[in-house]
């Protein structure tokens, strides 16, 4: 039997595995939808950047920014999953010109659910209280991250770009 020296060593935890599963899951959905998901190696609020392509395979302007949060089981409250988000993420995302998506991944079911954060926080009741360290978000159970959902998010991104340059949305 192989023997290793005694003493502390680096350890891969269940949370490390779930984090890798979440990235892998989302990458596969994005790739299946015909787009590219690039991992962000220095994570300061985004885990993946999605670049989209039109029906002919041509690259489109703009990106989708994704922050992934993986857990063994998601906490359900009615028709939503609740998650306490660090207020520093809110402060970064609220002024982002590109769509920012919070993606909750459930390791137990191997499913992911998304929330367009700028739309969510446009409602004053969803914003954090002054001095708060976290803000609770509700991600609808019906917003499963699928190939169809990625197509919908591509339309959202392109609409924001058209609006920014003064075109139709």
Least confident of 3-7, 40-44, 105-109, 150-154: 3-7
Asked if the model's pLDDT at residue 167 lies above 70, the reply is no
Write down the pLDDT at residue 3: 78
Contact between 114 and 69 under an 8 Å Cβ cutoff? The reply is no
Contact between 99 and 46 under an 8 Å Cβ cutoff? The reply is no
14-124+134-164, what's its fold?
Answer: Trna Endonuclease; Chain: A, domain 1 (3.40.1350)
**Confidence band (pLDDT; 50, 70, 90) for 143?**
very high
Asked if the model's pLDDT at residue 135 lies above 90, the reply is yes
Closest by CA to 65, choosing from 38, 46, 40, 87, is 46
Helix (H, G, I), strand (E, B) or coil at 91: helix
Percentage of the chain lying above the pLDDT 90 cut: 84
Distances (CA, A) of 93 to 5, 10, 71: 46, 33, 22
Q: Express each pLDDT in 6-38 by its tens digit.
A: 888 899 999 999 999 999 999 999 999 999 999
Q: Please list the residues that pair with 68 across neighbouring strands.
A: 103
**Confidence band (pLDDT; 50, 70, 90) for 43?**
confident
Helix (H, G, I), strand (E, B) or coil at 125: helix
Domain boundaries, the chain: 14-124+134-164
Write down the pLDDT at residue 131: 96
Dist. CA 108–CA 81, nearest whole Å: 14
Burial classification of residue 78, based on how many CB atoms lie within 10 Å of its CB (0-12 exposed, 13-18 middle, 19 or more buried): exposed
Write down the pLDDT at residue 160: 87
Half-sphere exposure of 5 (CA within 13 A, CB side): 4
Q: What is the mean predicted confidence (pLDDT) over 77-85?
A: 96
């Amino acid at each position: 039997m192989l023997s290793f020296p005694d003493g502390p060593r680096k350890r891969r935890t269940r949370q490390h595995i779930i984090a890798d599963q979440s990235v892998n899951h989302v990458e596969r959905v994005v790739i299946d939808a015909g787009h590219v998901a690039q991992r962000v190696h220095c994570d300061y609020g985004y885990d993946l950047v999605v670049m989209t392509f039109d029906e002919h395979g041509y690259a489109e302007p703009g990106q989708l920014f994704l922050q992934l949060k993986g857990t063994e089981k998601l906490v359900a409250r009615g028709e939503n999953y609740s998650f306490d988000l660090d207020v520093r993420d809110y402060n970064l995302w609220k002024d982002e010109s590109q769509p920012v998506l919070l993606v909750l991944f459930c390791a137990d079911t191997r499913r992911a659910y998304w929330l367009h954060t700028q739309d969510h926080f446009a409602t004053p009741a969803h914003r954090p209280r002054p001095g708060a360290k976290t803000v609770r978000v509700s991600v609808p159970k019906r917003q499963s991250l699928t190939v169809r959902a990625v197509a919908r998010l591509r339309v959202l991104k392109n609409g924001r770009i058209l609006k920014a340059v003064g075109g139709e949305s």
